[in-house]
Amino acid sequence: MDLQVVEQLGRLDALVGEGGVVVLSGAGLSTDSGIPDYRGPSGSARRSTPMTYQTFTGDPVARRRYWARSHLGWRTIGGARPNDGHRAVARLQGSGLVDGVITQNVDGLHQAAGARDVIELHGNLARIVCLDCGALSGRDELEERLTAANPGFAAVATTINPDGDVELDDAEVAGFAVVDCRACGGVLKPDVVYFGETVPADRVAGAFGLLQQARTLLILGSSLTVMSGRRFVLRAVRDGIRVAIVNRGVTRGEPYADLVIDAPLGVILPNLSINADSTARLPS
């Protein structure tokens, strides 16, 4: 760790040690768990266009392609485990320094590490929703059904994308069988926000409610390229809330930040040496 990063870590220690921190995490927090990010140094060079809600619901062929790719991708996403960064966030929350966690990730690793009441802006790949009747079910159950419906499916995953699917040639997915809702026969979809969808209003309201009481908004592993995350930075600046960023590479939040650390999250977060008995519970 070079001297500049050591100095920045000390400044982050001081900010976090005051408590009242709200974390906003992005894909960069999960790279050490084997899930690539979108735009950072370990990001996947995606060749295909991300699935949109309109394409998924309107094109059965595209929907079959998605499920074949996602079926293989789940072996990585579903098997991923929290890393030191996730555990550090849970530890900070448990100590009373972090008041809430907002994540753009769909991997559920914050909760697996012990974080509580996480606001999942974009949903969670482990849940499946029926677009016709609204029934929710678990991903493991769906994977068993897809495996049973496709006994000869022998495609091999190459590049996995952060949203849980993989790169496959169309010829490899041509015969893949999609399964429908057991309750009503309707179309099943991961309970995540696709491109072309909006984040549910109650999630956004809950996230802004958390931020309203914060001293510091701590951004972890997000380039803040899309407004889904960047709007919280803009709100924090408007309301006089400090912004600290830990991320590999450039982020669009840098012009608004009080502190920016360009370093691996798995190095920075476990090395925070804050004291849970500091000023965390003092009134703002």
Task: Give the CATH number of the domain where residue 152 resides.
Answer: 3.30.1600
Average of pLDDT values for 140-160? 88
Q: Which helix (H) or strand (E) holds 269?
A: none
User: What's the domain range around 261?
Assistant: 1-35+83-122+198-284
Same domain, 138 and 249: no
Q: What is the Cα–Cα distance from 207 to 32, expressed in whole angstroms?
A: 26
Same domain, 218 and 254: yes
pLDDT tens, position by position, 221-262: 999 998 989 999 999 999 999 999 999 999 999 999 999 999
Same domain, 142 and 74: yes
Position 161 scores a pLDDT of 73
131: which residues sit within 8 A by CB, 6+ positions away? 57, 186, 187, 188, 189
Residues with catalytic roles? 122
Report how many domains make up the chain: 2
Q: Residue 27's closest CA among 39, 13, 15, 18?
A: 39
Same domain, 116 and 131: no
Same domain, 234 and 141: no
HSE-CB for 218 with a 13 A CA cutoff: 32
For strands 123-130 and 188-192, give the pairing.
Answer: antiparallel
Same domain, 206 and 187: no
Position 23 scores a pLDDT of 98
Which of 139, 169, 192 is the last residue in one of the domains?
192
212 occurs within a structural domain: yes
Binding residues for Zn(2+): 130, 133, 181, 184
Same domain, 23 and 131: no
Q: Are 167 and 161 in contact (CB under 8 A)?
A: yes
pLDDT for residue 86 is more than 70? yes
284 occurs within a structural domain: yes
- Largest alpha-carbon pair distance within the chain? 61
Same domain, 96 and 132: no
> Of 36-45, 51-60, 187-196, 243-252, which gets the smallest average pLDDT?
36-45
At 236, which CATH number?
A: 3.40.50.1220
Position 108 scores a pLDDT of 96
Same domain, 91 and 30: yes
CA dihedral (141, 157, 220, 234) in degrees, to 10, reads -90
Which of 192, 223, 243 is the last residue in one of the domains?
192
Return the percentage of the chain with pLDDT > 70, whole number: 91
> Of 121-130, 151-160, 175-184, which gets the smallest average pLDDT?
151-160
For strands 216-220 and 242-246, give the pairing.
Answer: parallel
Same domain, 129 and 170: yes
Same domain, 187 and 261: no
Average of pLDDT values for 81-99? 96
Same domain, 30 and 72: no
| pTM reported for the whole predicted model | 0.90
pLDDT for residue 276 is more than 50? no
Which of 170, 192, 214 is the last residue in one of the domains?
192
40 occurs within a structural domain: no
pLDDT tens, position by position, 94-139: 999 999 999 999 999 999 999 999 999 999 999 999 999 999 999 9
Return the percentage of the chain with pLDDT > 90, whole number: 76
Confidence of residue 37 (pLDDT cuts 50, 70, 90): confident
